[in-house]
Amino acid sequence: MLRLGERPLVMGILNVTPDSFADAAPLTGVARAIEAALRIQADGADLVDIGGESTRPGAEPLPAAEELARVLPVIRGLAGRLTIPISIDTYKAEVARAALDAGASIVNDVSGLRREAALAHVVAEHGAALVIMHSRGTPATMAGEAVYEDVAADVASELQASIGVAEAAGVPVDRIIVDPGVGFAKHAAHSYGVLARLPEIVAAVGRPVLVGPSRKSFMREALNDRPPAGRDWGTAAAVTAAVLAGAHLVRVHAVAEMVQVVRVAENIRRHGADG
């Protein structure tokens, strides 16, 4: 069970896709994926997020059957071996249902219920938790939808609308987490703006906030076009900023390193609050 608010939590990323944007080498094979999940737990993650479909900009949608073939054997193989909660990274109701039946307890929807609103009903039926991420369009179209009058206000307003959809489907509000969607339907300036103005978003939505800046392309110019696997120092800066701004969870690739970053940032934040 997640205890949000006591300290920032670390969500470890487990991509079981052949085309992940952020991994130096694709993680293929059920045994390797199970081993990686157990390592994520040993490195100090509070939960693991398993995804079978790439959501990188420009990615084509994946049939549900293929996504299930990638994630279900891993989730089933972790039964009784993993002690931290499993999150399934999907926007598809069919995939969410099967993953929850197999042992996941959280659904992480990068579409914010904009692709399949029925997913919220699946979450409600299973008594699961739901992460609602802010995005627009699909990976193939989202770059063209990165137009904002006020990025913090617009993101908060659209997240509030998605929360309303979830509540209408029967998801209790205390089981909802929001994610402002760094890098999704946002140019670099928008992503930096979300991080810089995160306290406004936290205050506006009134729900725990997850931030996932790990290795994303908004850092590319600042890091002289380093490839994704070379952006962990930049990720550390973004994670620190997120924690100091009030993030309840961070979603990262380099778990062992980012656990250290989060723990130090947490102490800085706590001493600031203590005056």
Query: Which one of the listed residues 115, 216, 231, 269 is annotated catalytic?
Result: 216
pLDDT, the chain, mean: 94
Say which residue the tokens 């994704």 belong to.
228
End-to-end Cα separation, the chain, in angstroms: 31
Q: Which pLDDT does position 22 carry in this prediction? A: 52
Q: Which domains does the chain have, with CATH numbers?
A: 9-274 (3.20.20.20)
pLDDT tens, 94-151?
Answer: 999 999 999 999 999 999 999 999 999 999 999 999 999 999 998 889 999 999 999 9
Residue type, 147: V
Known active-site residue 251: yes
Segment 166-184 shows an average pLDDT of 97
Q: Is the per-residue pLDDT at 16 higher than 90?
A: yes
Residue type, 42: A
Q: Is the per-residue pLDDT at 230 higher than 60?
A: yes
Query: Which one of the listed residues 92, 207, 231, 251 is annotated catalytic?
Result: 251
pLDDT tens, 21-69?
Answer: 555 445 568 999 999 999 999 999 999 999 999 887 777 889 999 999 9
Return the closest-CA partner of residue 22 out of 217, 211, 228: 228
pLDDT tens, 183-209?
Answer: 999 999 999 999 999 999 999 999 999
Segment 213-240 shows an average pLDDT of 96
Token representation of residue 5: 């608010």
Query: What's the pLDDT band for 272 if we cut at 50, 70, 90?
Result: confident
User: pTM for this one?
Assistant: 0.94
